[in-house]
Structure 1
Amino acid sequence: MASTIAPISLFLLLLTLFSQTHFSSSFRVLRLNSGRPFTPILSSISDVHDLLPKYGLPKGLLPNNVQSYSLSDDGSFEVELRSPCYVYFDRYVYYNKKITGKLSYGSVSDVTGIQAKKLFLWVSVTKIHTDEGSDSIRFYVGSLSEDLPASKFENVPDCKSKACKSTNPESI
């Protein structure tokens, strides 16, 4: 009887060690829309700008003043900037101090904390999407969208404390 308990105990010990190692692993597997597995991603990447290309997005989607970020297993994320700021692409974009959303391969949905100036109005960006091999990035404002060249987002942009003298999106 003692001889059967030892192998079972050893098996349970190894199973426990393996499961703790497996769950504390820093790798995460993503699935593309087709259901195919994507390459493992290190969740311990310290700079969010280095993480974005792993999800098929350019690193210049976020400004250079990121203080911290967190990413959940379901893709929910929160980015905290040192301060709110403006970046100019084809138009001014305002980044709030806190940006949230849901990250999946090639897409950011449920975005909060990013606004773009369209004519005289500041409109909230709700989704960002790119297709593999595409030369453009699609930005959604509700059900409306606009494509911008992906080349505009290759480099991490500098934050500016002011966009112009006229309008602050938080005051609207």
Structure 2
Amino acid sequence: MLSGCLKFLLICASFLSLSVISSSVAPSVHDLLPQYGLPKGLLPDAVKSYSLEEDGSFVIELERPCYVHFENLAYYEKKITGKISYGAISDISGIQAKKFFIWVSVTGMRIDPPDYVEFEVGPLSEKLSITQFQKIPTCKSKACSHMQEEKSANTVAVAEA
């Protein structure tokens, strides 16, 4: 009887230790962004891992490099680095945006309350509506995949008519 009680206590202790471990897991990077006053959709869904230092310096590893289409087309390298503070990210490397026919490196982002995210490209900047960044975007392997999806949707609509 005593060994049965001991086994039961060991099993209970195991479950308790597992629940403590699972509750101490770090939040996803998408859940962390709003804690800094930033929308969760600034990064694509392909985040593999991230590290964040006390001074705000971070490294984000994606599963693969990819494209995301906001108002402008953006390219995310497999490794993204920068420094996060409340409402802003500075010293960014690993993100580019296509403006007209030129790819430019995004060097910073900051919130321009209440409705905009301002993207810095060296000394220049552009404001985009924050609503574009409320949902976590899908990481695409090709720059024009959003156009192919739109074309497919239009073809289906024409075929049904």
| Shift in Å, 1:44 | 5.0
Q: 1:45 touches 1:51 (CA, 8 Å); kept in 2?
A: no
| Shift in Å, 1:108 | 0.1
Does 2:136 correspond to 1:136?
Answer: no
Q: What residue number does 1:94 align with?
A: 75
Q: What residue number does 1:34 align with?
A: none
| Shift in Å, 1:164 | 2.8
Does 2:35 correspond to 1:54?
Answer: yes
**Which ranges of structure 1 fall in alignment gaps of 5 or more residues?**
1-42, 166-172
Give the secondary structure class of the aligned counterpart of 1:130.
strand
Question: C-alpha distance in 2, partners of 1:65/1:50?
Answer: 14
Question: C-alpha distance in 1, partners of 2:126/2:55?
Answer: 27
Question: C-alpha distance in 1, partners of 2:119/2:25?
Answer: 28
| Shift in Å, 1:45 | 2.9
Letter in 1 for 2:46: N
Question: C-alpha distance in 2, partners of 1:119/1:160?
Answer: 20
Give the secondary structure class of the aligned counterpart of 1:46.
coil
Q: Cα deviation per residue 1:119-167 (whole Å; 9 max; x = unaligned)?
A: 1110000000004x410000000010000000000000001000039xx
CA gap of 1:45–1:78, structure 2 versus 1, over 3 A, is same
**Which ranges of structure 2 fall in alignment gaps of 5 or more residues?**
1-23, 146-161
Higher helix share: 2
Q: What residue number does 1:162 align with?
A: 142
Give the secondary structure class of the aligned counterpart of 2:81.
strand
Q: What residue number does 1:80 align with?
A: 61
Give the secondary structure class of the aligned counterpart of 1:113.
strand
- Which structure 2 residues correspond to residues 1-172 of structure 1 after superposition, within 5 A? 45-131=26-112, 133-164=113-144
Give the secondary structure class of the aligned counterpart of 1:60.
helix
Question: C-alpha distance in 2, partners of 1:136/1:112?
Answer: 21
Query: How much identity, in percent, do the aligned residues show?
Result: 61
Residues paired across the two proteins, number: 122
The CA RMSD measured in Å over matched residues stands at 1.4
Give the secondary structure class of the aligned counterpart of 1:68.
strand
Question: C-alpha distance in 2, partners of 1:138/1:45?
Answer: 28
Question: C-alpha distance in 1, partners of 2:71/2:131?
Answer: 12
Question: C-alpha distance in 2, partners of 1:158/1:64?
Answer: 5
